[in-house]
Amino acid sequence: MSGADCVVATLEKEGVDTIFAYPGGASMPMHQSLTRAKNLRTVLPRHEQGGVFMAEGYARSTGKVGVCMSTSGPGATNLITGIADAYMDSVPLVAITGQVKKDMIGKGAFQETDVFGITLPIVKHSYLVIDPREIPQIIKEALLIARSSRPGPVVIDIPKDVQQSLFKPFFPHTTGLESKLSPPPIDITALETVLDWIGKAKRPVLYVGGGIISSGAHLELFKFAEKTSIPVTTTLMGIGSFPENHYLSLKWLGMHGSVYSNFAVDQSDLVLALGVRFDDRVTGKVEAFAQKARIVHIDIDNSELNKNKRVDLAILGDVKEALSLLNKMIEEREWKSPGYVLWHEEILAWKLKFPFRYKKIDDLILPQMVIEEIYKLTQGEAIITTGVGQHQMWAGQFYNFHHPRTFLTSGGLGAMGFGYPAALGAKIAHPQSTVIDIDGDGSFLMNIQELATAVTENIPVKAVILNNQHLGMVVQWEDRFYDSNRAHTFLGLPHNKNALYPDFPQICKGFGIKAERISKPQELVPALKRMLSSDEPYVLDVIVPYTEHVLPMIPAGMTVKDIIIDND
- The catalytic site residues sit at 48, 110-111, 160, 473
**CA–CA separation, 433 vs 381, rounded Å?**
8
Do 209 and 235 touch, CB atoms closer than 8 A? yes
Task: Give the amino acid at 269.
Answer: D
CA-closest candidate to residue 545, choices 443, 469, 440: 469
- Helices 3-13 and 135-147, axial angle in degrees (round to 10): 40
Helix (H, G, I), strand (E, B) or coil at 561: helix
Backbone phi, psi, residue 497, to 5° = -70, -10
Do 504 and 527 touch, CB atoms closer than 8 A? no
Helices H / strands E in the chain, number of each: 23, 18
CA-closest candidate to residue 205, choices 256, 261, 254, 244: 261
The string of DSSP codes covering 297-340 is EEES-GGGTTTSS--SEEEES-HHHHHHHHHHHHHHTT------
**CA–CA separation, 531 vs 2, rounded Å?**
46
Alpha carbons within 13 A on the beta-carbon side of 125 = 17
Query: CB neighbours of 286 closer than 8 A, spacing ≥ 6?
Result: 278, 280, 308, 309
Task: Give the amino acid at 440.
Answer: G
Do 77 and 97 touch, CB atoms closer than 8 A? no
**CA–CA separation, 534 vs 470, rounded Å?**
29
Query: CB neighbours of 470 closer than 8 A, spacing ≥ 6?
Result: 442, 489, 490, 491, 492, 546
Question: What share of residues in the chain are helix, strand, coil (percent, to 5)?
Answer: 40, 15, 40
CA-closest candidate to residue 85, choices 513, 532, 447: 447
DSSP 495: T
Q: Is 245 exposed, middle or buried (0-12, 13-18, 19+ CB in 10 A)?
A: exposed
CA-closest candidate to residue 15, choices 79, 51, 67, 60: 67
* Residues facing residue 474 across a β-bridge: none
**CA–CA separation, 269 vs 271, rounded Å?**
7
